[in-house]
């Protein structure tokens, strides 16, 4: 499993190798989602285990993902570059974080309903 700093580097590679869909107006959610992902990379750098997303943040990042495309010469879904930073691993790190956050939120809701 990748360490926190490697995940942060890969997440930044994902952001560096993507852009908003060409020819489209850049929606606010693009900047909001990108900002959340940048905050995640910073939290990983700082090893901040208290950094979390709520379901609304996860939805914002999912919407961000649906509004991006790879920059010329890159593919964030199958990065075969020899570079140290891998955008595919960054893409998966973001998805895995969202998965864990959604589970954490659901478990907290379950516990609250039990009391």
Q: Which phi and psi angles does 39 have, rounded to 5°? A: -65, -40
Over the chain (115 residues), what is each successive 10-residue block's mean pLDDT? Answer: 79 91 85 97 94 95 91 68 74 92 93 87
Backbone angles phi, psi at 82, to 5 degrees: -90, 5
Could you state, in order of their start, the residue ranges of all structural domains in the chain? 4-114
List the structure tokens of 104. Answer: 């954490």
User: On the CB side of 94, how many CA atoms lie within 13 Å of its CA?
Assistant: 33
pLDDT at 53: 96
Predicted confidence at residue 1, as pLDDT, reads 45
């Amino acid at each position: 499993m990748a360490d926190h700093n490697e995940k942060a580097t890969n997440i930044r590679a994902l952001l560096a190798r993507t852009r908003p869909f060409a020819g489209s107006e850049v929606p606010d959610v693009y900047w909001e989602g990108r900002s959340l992902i940048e905050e995640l990379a910073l939290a990983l750098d700082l090893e901040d285990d208290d950094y979390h997303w709520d379901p609304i943040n996860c939805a914002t990042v999912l919407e961000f993902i649906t509004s991006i495309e790879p920059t010329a010469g890159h593919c964030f879904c199958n990065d075969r570059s020899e570079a140290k930073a891998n955008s595919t691993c960054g893409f998966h790190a973001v998805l895995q974080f969202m998965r864990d956050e959604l589970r954490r939120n659901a478990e907290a809701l379950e516990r609250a309903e039990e009391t």
